[in-house]
Structure 1
Amino acid sequence: MELLVVVPHPDDEVFGAGGVLYEAAQRGWRTGLITLTRGDRGKDLGLCTREELPRVREEELRRAAGILRIDHLEVYGYPDQGLGEHPEVAELLAERFDELKPERIVTFPPNGLNRHPDHVATHRWTAEALERYGAPVRLYYYAPPRPYPGLREGWRPPTHFVPLERATLAVKMRAMAQHRTQALSVLKMMDSAAERLMEEAFHLVGYRGAARTGLD
């Protein structure tokens, strides 16, 4: 598999890597997405009951993944906002890496971008899984050009930028729109980081050269 994205919640995939996933599929790369929770602590906006929310969010995710032409999707039921209490996730991910054999993995940086505990835990379990896996993998972190205010520690500067073509941006926005229950989060991102809609940025761990366009 040429590209695998590992995130904790439905919608984490499309904000930071929706364009990269779609364009990779357009190039003929095999793409995958592992989502560790069903987002049961997210908002529902009155579109469903709290009990229905995990099922609804998984359905939203599956629609978005279809639009992004993701080849392989796995959704797990670890507790939203409780992922850090489950170290067995590292073993699970190591097993999945051994099965899928990804060449590139995209996930969250050490500070989770915004210190969300599930983002930070996903970084930690992915790093531990890669140590167990042992095979060489290009590991990329989500890397907005500037850290969130007051959150420089654990942020990694971008080394690779991916400007999105107009057609790709349209697909990404369609995929974002599938996450209807999280519409306020979508609008918040559009208000505070609209540039990330048009250009996705990543930090390649261990890379020391000048910033590049596209993923290596």
Structure 2
Amino acid sequence: MAQRTLLVVLAHPDDESFPMGGTLAKYAAEGARVTLVCATRGEAGIPGLSAADTAQIRTRELQAAAAALGLADVRFLGYLDGQLAAADADTVVGQLVNILRAVGPQTVITFGPDGISGHPDHLAIHRMTTSAFDQAALPARLYYLAPSAATLQGCGVIPSQELAGGSVAAIDVADHLVTKVRAIQCHASQDPPFSGPPEIEAERLTCHEYFTLARPIVGNDTGWTDLFEPTLMRTS
């Protein structure tokens, strides 16, 4: 059986850990190859530090978090934090199409149209990843991170109610919450909310992370429990 491959396309270091670290840890632990594409190095994320110094710190933090989660590969697109929406969309989409075709994932995850926090970079990477996915025309599934208790805990903001339609997958991450906390704590510059012993902090986290299936469109079913589940390809 071919190795399962998951591609995650996000905007900043820490986007992978705070809202969805349990899911990434789960699939990595189960043997899937998980590749993360990060559009920026989080250059605007540490007040009082230069963009260059901040980028170095946050790159190291992301690499440590990726190792904790078991990710196979981390790739940066090279855009500045806070300026992704101003980048040439065709160029970014072209980069992503090339990555999609090179990685050949069965499943892709990015932000939904709400961006969870509404950050302009989140909204931009949502649009660009969706466009790239459609252009790449791979036999794959595209999921959007859905607002939930997990994103509220991880991002610290009340999620937008602007939800993308489609089937919702609920991923049980109970066995991977300690790993999620360890990955969150790698992002020390972002003052992670769960700073105590990981085994204790994990008890405070919700056990499910949620994703909305954007491609293919199969209706508005609920109850999916696997982002790779073949029956997601059924027609409604």
Distance 2:204 2:93 in 1: 33
Query: SS in structure 2 opposite 1:15?
Result: coil
> Structure 1 residues 39, 6: closer, same or farther in 2, change over 3 A?
same
1:24-79, Cα deviation, whole Å (9 max, x unpaired): 112111111000100001125x7x65541101100000000001110111123201
Per the TM alignment, residue 151 of structure 1 is displaced from its structure 2 partner at its CA by: 3.1
2:209 counterpart SS class: strand
Structural mapping, 1:125-144, within 5 Å = 125-144=128-147
Regions of 4+ moved over 4 Å: 146-150, 154-158, 194-197
Once the two structures are TM-superposed, the CA of residue 210 in structure 1 deviates from its matched residue by: 2.9
**128-137 vs 51-60, which deviates more?**
128-137
Q: Does 1:151 align with 2:160?
A: yes
> Aligned-pair distance for 1:139?
0.6
Deviation at 1:197, TM superposition (A): 4.6
1:109 is aligned to 2:112? yes
Q: Identity over the aligned pairs, expressed in percent?
A: 33
> Is contact 1:16–1:196 with CA below 8 Å preserved after alignment?
no
Change (3 A) 1:210 1:150: closer
Residue 54 of structure 1 corresponds to: 55
CA distance change for structure 1 residues 5 and 196 in 2, over 3 Å: closer, same or farther? farther
Q: Aligned residue for 1:213?
A: 225
Q: 1:90–1:129: 8 Å Cα contact kept in structure 2?
A: yes
Give the conservation status (yes or no) of the 8 Å contact 2:117–2:159.
Answer: no
* Equivalent-residue separation in structure 1 for 2:169 and 2:125 (angstroms): 21
- Does residue 22 (structure 1) correspond to residue 21 (structure 2)? The answer is no
| Residue aligning to 2:193 | 187
- CA distance 1:34–1:5, shift in 2 (3 Å): same
Task: Work out whether residues 166 and 212 of structure 2, in 8 Å CA contact, stay in contact via their aligned partners in 1.
Answer: yes
Cα RMSD for the two superposed structures: 2.4
Q: Give distance in 2, aligned partners of 1:174 and 1:77.
A: 26
Equivalent pair of 2:39/2:76 in contact (CA under 8 Å): yes
Aligned pairs, number: 206
Unaligned runs of 5+ in 2: 195-202, 230-236
Q: Partner residue of 1:11?
A: 14
Q: Secondary structure at the match of 1:129?
A: helix
Amino acid at match of 1:187: P
Alpha-carbon offset, residue 127 of structure 1: 1.1
The alpha-carbon deviation at position 207 of structure 1 amounts to: 3.5
Q: What is the SS of the residue equivalent to 2:193? A: helix
Within the alignment, does 1:200 sit opposite 2:209 as a pair? yes
Partner in structure 1 of residue 185 of structure 2: 177
SS in 1 for 2:78: strand
2:104 equivalent to 1:95 = no
CA distance in 2, matches of 1:214, 1:172: 18
- CA–CA separation in structure 2 for the residues paired with 1:196 and 1:140: 22
Provide the C-alpha distance between the structure 2 equivalents of 1:140 and 1:69, rounded to a whole number of angstroms: 20
How far residue 162 of structure 1 moved from its aligned partner, in angstroms, is 1.3
TM-score, normalising length from structure 1? 0.86
Task: Tell me which residue corresponds to 1:81.
Answer: 82
Cα 1:134–1:144, aligned 2, differ >3 Å: closer, same or farther?
same
Q: Normalising to structure 2: TM-score of the pair?
A: 0.79
- Conserved 8 A contact 2:164-2:212: no
